[in-house]
Structure 1
């Protein structure tokens, strides 16, 4: 087992592995820019000509939504609050099954380029389309910013490369190969990067487990320290993680991702609907394995610090719990040449996949939602050129925002995650309103989405400012942390202290504190640090109810419900005053909501734009 006093640095093997991943990603982008159809039209550039097969798209879909944030955040979540996070797998499974039954049959036959074109078709309102697209752009940019910032902080922690240089390196690389190669380069680089992601996380898990004495020892320490917890079944919505709120509350967050531009682009890039369903089915085991491995890594991280009897957070070597994962990885893997570099390549892969997907998706939104009329009569060359220009602009914007975010300690990141939670729910509600209720009109859609956004933002901001804090598990022992350790780790601590921007887990709600005394070989934690966190904590059942104390997992559901309820009620009230009442075509509704209705039919023109004809008339 590596000691905390060991000097850690990356060797030539580590840099070679990192270079292979980065150069390989760039090479794939160049290949698709210079071969094949070379993006001769917009459909080829943004949707790969709708000819992709299921397996690469499956790996791309997985890599897009399982970012570097998850690679760093899930193990830290387990260390801080326990393994209830594992029920997130149930939430993802339910969301994918619902998507197979409802989202794919809705979106695939429409042959969209932007998912927000659906809002124009359904509500016949340019304002609704623009509102949905604007909310989606804000959400996408927020996610891209954090996905880019996370690995930059990790690299600074590991080898001391300036954060600005890391942001520019990763951001520029992702922007270049996405701009040059289009969606094909995004999908195939995702496939390439998925290999590094799985190889990296499995290597960390196996090596870390071996260092602490094997899986049985990891499990025993996890149980003894309260990290292994899978039976919180309370119905109190203020408890941070329970079986019910993680399984069903988080389901709505993951369901919202299936109405996003990156997901829709992969759905419609597939040859057939049957293959699109296969993509979602194949993704389920991938996300299950991914999340189980990361939860197990959190237990290994706990066991490691308890076995060496030195918790760097309790000892003061680091100031923020989100510094724990890179700190742990560099010390456990430094003895094996190349493995630390493999893990950093894993983190970079997660970031690049999210960044590239976001850039390509936002470029599609720009040309289809905001500038479609301007480009309507332009040549394909002009359209592709402007699309690539937008890809560059969005990439540059992500780089700039990530660099600006590093100047702040935590609140900016928490605000970014607040915006994700606050935008995803209302945006999903807009789609559910239109696809479920035929009587929904544009007035109700606009008012419902706006009200949902305000409500969701108010709840998220109020929870951050006034909500009761979560109760963290005990810190680990510090009896093995001696003066020599502190001296030798001063440089590492200085770098790690900059990791404070990744504090998004702190703003959530409750778990329990368990008794470490049941495992006698584990020394007592730092009582002073522990008392600071728990001295005035009051259980939810012993304090007055407040909406601000609701678990963060309910935020997307609240935003969605407000959007649907307000939108439906207002639509019913205003329909009697409209000369032309909503009468959507059956294919614009979910399969289980499709009555036989008379309405205009949307047909696909030769230029892939949607035209309209009346039923019973000739085109």
Structure 2
């Protein structure tokens, strides 16, 4: 079955409302200053900002990918939410009180001020821009495959519709349009996922039946306490994954930090984080429950047990088309949720890319610095439009590329979050680390993280699904529409895992012992290893080149406890390079030896002169001219 008239009506209405909100905010804020356009004049309220943060990184692939994860591999990944909560608290308590009072537009301005190096700030910005643009392109492509199954629209047309819609309201309305559209889209997403949970659980007898089926078929696992780093998931690996995923996404990424920078006070910024944490855990719980509900429906006749079924996310599409379409409007609401997830993620990236380009590269230039607010605002709208066009083009390009390339691209992009987290940790907690140490750690960590990701992609294989059954299947168990859908989605290779590699990637090392080296380590540790490499290299290079003194660092840019420790540990303050000290000692010794040599020569000359005087009967300094 396909979408009915009511479903299409709901879908169309959702897209139109998003556009109208953007147009309205653009009209209301038509005289906004450049800072008002990008930051909402730093007067935005915590609740809408929190809802925007909640859905800003929950893409359409997260909805389908995480539900598919619960379906095929069980609930262990759910533990990731504990790491997410812990990281959000640290962001609220440690990062916001230091960075928010700076009133920056670009997060990476903090790096420049901390290390007094504009080039290091620009290096972090370039890293974010490259990753952000390709991420937008990919965000538009994989959902378009799923939406083709739902709507019948061509993949390229879906890419264009989604890209053009979010570019339109982002360009016209600025950050307020993005945030308030996200609020609407958050509601749509919650309702869409709720539709699966409520209808699906009722169909099988309730949530208790859903959980019972999952439990008896090995889907419920939360406390795998094994410390083996080579396994795919465990309690500890998922905690680490959630913690560093959140630091990378909400702590050191412009697209999300721009949300709490748009508030008027540190307290409001912290409220944004806390409200977003509650909403995020709630939405993710719904998505995970939806996966278990879908499993309860299919567990006796599992479509993933069919030959060629490689991507767990496609069962979500199959479920919607075979179950939700029986109730007019429900499938349309879910498809609207998919569209909403894409629009919210892409518009968030568009807004943040514009902020980075303006604050880090254009505004500091003398030509643009003289722009009036009107000219600057017009330029920012042009940047958003340009970024949207680039995103659409990249989405079209990505649709022509092979899956393996995309998978490698986004695995590497995910690995780059570790070095950036490490750089911020060094800046916040290690005030004695100098610029040479921090920059060396950052760049070496990037190189090694990319090397690790490439090695993993070349050597690891996908883990088999948990036990699947087709014992309850019959020749007419599923109708022709369902079979057609299964074939279409399988052939199209709905690639949920590349874009959310930190959430749904299910790679494990080969059993060959030759592979169980560094490349066999779980992908959950990639960001963590990047952080460790960055910090270790930074400390070692600083020890070799000399530590900062108290005068080299602004104490307001460092965590208070770390600064107090730095003041007490005088051994760390302003220590010169060991190599310089060796050279200084060598030079001093050389001078001392030369001085002593000169003294000995002088003494010998005096002795010789006195001897001559005694022999000639003259005194020193007398002029002998033939008379005494």
Q: TM-score, normalised by structure 2?
A: 0.84
Task: Tell me which of 99, 113, 118 is aligned to 1:121.
Answer: 113
Q: Indicate yes or no: 2:333 matched with 1:364.
A: no
Match of 1:52 in 2: 44
Q: 1:292 to 1:597 in 2, by over 3 A?
A: closer
Alignment CA distance shift 1:591-1:57 (3 Å): farther
Structure 2: state its 5+ residue gaps. Answer: 568-628
Q: Which residue of 1 aligns with 2:496?
A: 502
Aligned residue in 2 for 1:266:
259
Contact kept in structure 2, 1:362 and 1:394, CA below 8 Å: yes
Contact 2:25 2:173 in 1 (8 A): yes
Q: CA deviation at 1:569?
A: 2.1
Q: CA deviation at 1:366?
A: 0.4
Out of 63, 68, 73, the position equivalent to 1:71 is 63
CA contact (8 A) 1:440 1:582 kept: no
1:585 equivalent in structure 2: 554
Deviation by residue 1:271-315 (Cα, 9 ceiling, x = unmatched):
211111111111222111112111111111111112xx3222323
- By how many angstroms is 1:458 displaced? 1.1
Mapping 1:41-440, distance limit 5 Å: 41-257=33-249, 258-306=251-299, 309-316=300-307, 318=309, 320-374=311-365, 375-440=368-433
1:486 deviates by 7.4
Q: Structure 1 residue 163: deviation in Å?
A: 0.4
Map of 2:26 onto structure 1: 33
Partner of 2:527: 556
CA distance, structure 2, for counterparts of residue 460 and residue 366 of structure 1: 28
Q: CA deviation at 1:471?
A: 4.0
Q: CA deviation at 1:110?
A: 0.6
Distance 2:406 2:329 in 1: 31
Q: Deviation of residue 316 (structure 1)?
A: 4.0
Task: From 583, 586, 594, give the equivalent of 2:563.
Answer: 594
CA distance in 2, matches of 1:39, 1:409: 45
Query: Residues 18 and 582 (structure 1 numbering): CA distance in 2 closer, same or farther, change over 3 Å?
Result: farther
Secondary structure in 2 aligned to 1:69? Answer: helix
- In terms of mean alpha carbon deviation, does 277-286 or 139-148 score higher? 139-148
Q: Give RMSD over aligned pairs.
A: 2.4
> Compared with structure 1, are the counterparts of its residues 12 and 507 closer, same or farther at alpha carbon in structure 2 (3 Å cutoff)?
closer
For residues 566-581 of structure 1, the aligned pairs below 5 Å read: 566-575=537-546
Using the TM superposition, give the Cα deviation of residue 345 of structure 1 relative to its aligned residue in structure 2, in angstroms: 0.7
Return closer, same or farther for 1:155/1:249 CA change in 2, 3 Å cut-off.
Answer: closer
For 1:408 and 1:485, locate their aligned partners in 2 and report how far apart those are by CA, in whole Å.
33
3-state DSSP class of the match of 2:442?
helix
Alpha-carbon separation, structure 2, partners of 1:215 and 1:71 = 19
Distance 1:338 1:195 in 2: 16
How much does 1:487 deviate?
Answer: 4.9
1:119-168: CA deviation from partner (whole Å, max 9, x where unpaired): 11111112101110011112322432332223312210113210000000
| Structure with larger Rg | 2
Shift of 1:596: 10
> How far apart, CA to CA, are the structure 1 residues paired with 2:454 and 2:492?
24
Partner SS for 2:326: coil
Does 2:15 match 1:22?
yes
CA deviation vs aligned residue, 1:374-423 (integer Å, no higher than 9, x gap):
22222222222222211112111211222222223432332243133211
Q: Paired residues, what number?
A: 559
Deviations 1:323-367 (A, max 9, x none): 111111221101111110100111111111111110000011001
Match of 1:547 in 2: 518
Structure 2 match to 1:613? none
Looking at structure 2, the residues matched to 144 and 596 of structure 1 have their Cα atoms a distance apart, in angstroms, of: 42
Distance 1:470 1:318 in 2: 13
2:605 match: none
